[in-house]
Amino acid sequence: MASEFLADASERLIHTMRALGISQQVAGMVAAEWQASVTRDWGGERPYIGKQAAAAVEMSRRDAAICRDWQAGERMGALSRKYQISRQRIYLIVSQAPR
């Protein structure tokens, strides 16, 4: 499983570097070095990668969108349906937004 994770992560790293215009050869070398350093530093460990940080960023984007929609005149019920959260949560987000 760890080797599958490293292979997948390396593929993603290469894909991102290629999208930035980095050559396949350089991207492959960077990914190989990254994979070797991860194996060296964390080999034998079972690191946990939580979703909390990504969820917080997504929630911040969602909350900002809710506030924008509210300021544009959208009603609580419509926002509740659109974002699939309760009206109470919509109210809380809007009331805590910086003015």
pLDDT tens string 45-59: 887 777 776 767 777
Determine the Cα angle at 51 with ends 46 and 56, to 5°. 150
pLDDT category at 6 given cuts 50, 70, 90 is confident
Ramachandran angles phi, psi of 33, nearest 5°: -65, -40
Q: Is the pLDDT of residue 87 over 60?
A: yes
Instruction: Compute the distance between CA of residue 92 and CA of residue 35 in angstroms, rounded to an integer.
Output: 44
Write out the residue range of the structural domain in which residue 33 sits: 2-42
Q: Is the pLDDT of residue 33 over 80?
A: yes
Q: Is the pLDDT of residue 1 over 80?
A: no
Q: Is the pLDDT of residue 31 over 90?
A: yes
Interhelix angle 76-83/52-71, rounded to 10 degrees, is 150
In a domain, 47, yes or no: no
Domain count, the chain: 2
pLDDT category at 63 given cuts 50, 70, 90 is very high
In a domain, 19, yes or no: yes
In a domain, 79, yes or no: yes
In a domain, 58, yes or no: yes
Predicted TM-score of the model (pTM): 0.51
- pLDDT for res 55: 67
Is 31 exposed, middle or buried, given 0-12, 13-18 or 19+ CB atoms closer than 10 A?
A: buried
Determine the Cα angle at 97 with ends 96 and 99, to 5°. 120
